[in-house]
Amino acid sequence: MIIAAIIAIFVVMVLSIVRAIAGPSLYDRILAVNMFGTKTVLMIALLGFAMGRPDFLDIALVYALINFISVIGVLRFSKSYGFQQPDQQPEEHQ
C-alpha cells in the first residue's frame, strides 16, 4: 500500500510540474509549486516508512515550514503581495 501511495504521489508531482511549466499566469505557477511542496512532505514521510527509518519525519516537518515560507517569499516578489496593510496596498488594476 505504501508503494502504491508513493507511486500516486510521484505521478501527481509530475502533473504539477506540467502545470508549473504550462500555467498561463504567474499565480498558476506558484500554486503548482506550492502543491509540489506539500506532496514532497507526504513523499518524505512515506519514504521514511517504506525504508523503515521514521527519523525522516523531522525532515518532513521542516520541509512543510520551508515550503510555506518560500511561497510567501515568492509572493512578496510579485507586486501584489497578499498580507500588506490596507494603507500600503498597491493600486488596483487600472
88 binds another protein (CB under 8 A): no
Environment class of residue 4 by beta-carbon count within 10 Å: exposed (0-12), middle (13-18) or buried (19+)?
exposed
Rounded Cα distance between 8 and 86, Å, is 42
Rounded to a whole number of angstroms, the minimum distance from the CB of residue 84 to another protein is 9
Cβ partners under 8 Å of residue 6, min gap 6 = 43, 46, 47, 50
51 binds another protein (CB under 8 A): no
Instruction: Please count the residues of this chain forming the interface with another protein, following the rule CB under 8 A.
Output: 51
User: Are 46 and 9 a contacting pair, CB within 8 Å?
Assistant: yes
Q: Which three cell numbers stand for residue 79?
A: 507586486
Residues numbered 12-41 forming contacts with another protein, rule: CB under 8 A: 12, 15-16, 18-19, 25, 27-28, 30-32, 34-35, 38-39, 41
Residues at the site binding another protein, with contacts judged by CB under 8 A: 1-2, 4-5, 7-9, 11-12, 15-16, 18-19, 25, 27-28, 30-32, 34-35, 38-39, 41-42, 45-46, 49, 54, 57-58, 60-61, 64-65, 67-68, 71-72, 75, 78-83, 86, 89-90, 92-93
